[in-house]
Amino acid sequence: MSEPLKALVVDDEPDVQLLFSQRFRRETRKGLVQLTFAQSGQEALDALKTEAADVVLVLSDINMPGMTGLELLREIKSDYPELRVMMVTAYDDATMQEEAFSHGAEGYLTKPIDFTELKRDVFALEA
């Protein structure tokens, strides 16, 4: 069996962890996906210091207190340029989307998240 796709989900809202855990329950049980969670940009950077070699995808909210998702994206791309990052936001903002892509984001998802589409995109990234 191959290694699971390891994704780091970054969002300051605690219920996001439960939502992702539920929506990826089948893939997690089958060993296809392993999710880890951070509730802030700084927590995500700290996790990457110990897990960067294993994490292949970061899914980050844009609007968070302290370090924003876009600031986190710039930090990640500076320190881990090969790491894939997808931004998640409640606001479909063309300017923000353009900024995310210009800083290296590979995806831009709006809430509520279409998990069918996300799974297709996530597994396509692994291909």
pTM of the model: 0.92
DSSP state of 10: E
pLDDT at residue 127 greater than cutoff 80 = no
pLDDT at residue 19 greater than cutoff 50 = yes
- The CATH number linked to 103 is 3.40.50.2300
DSSP state of 29: H
> Within a 10 A sphere around the Cβ of 82, how many other Cβ atoms?
7
pLDDT at residue 125 greater than cutoff 60 = no
Phi, psi of 53 (to 5 degrees): -65, -25
41-51 helix and 69-79 helix, angle to the nearest 10 degrees: 20
Q: What distance in Å separates the CA atoms of residue 106 and residue 49, rounded to the nearest whole number?
A: 21
pLDDT at 126: 53
Domain hosting residue 35, numbered range: 5-122
pLDDT in tens, 20-72: 999 999 999 999 999 999 999 999 999 999 976 799 999 999 999 999 999 99
Average pLDDT over the chain reads: 92
Residue 127 included in any domain: no
Task: Specify the number of domains making up the chain.
Answer: 1
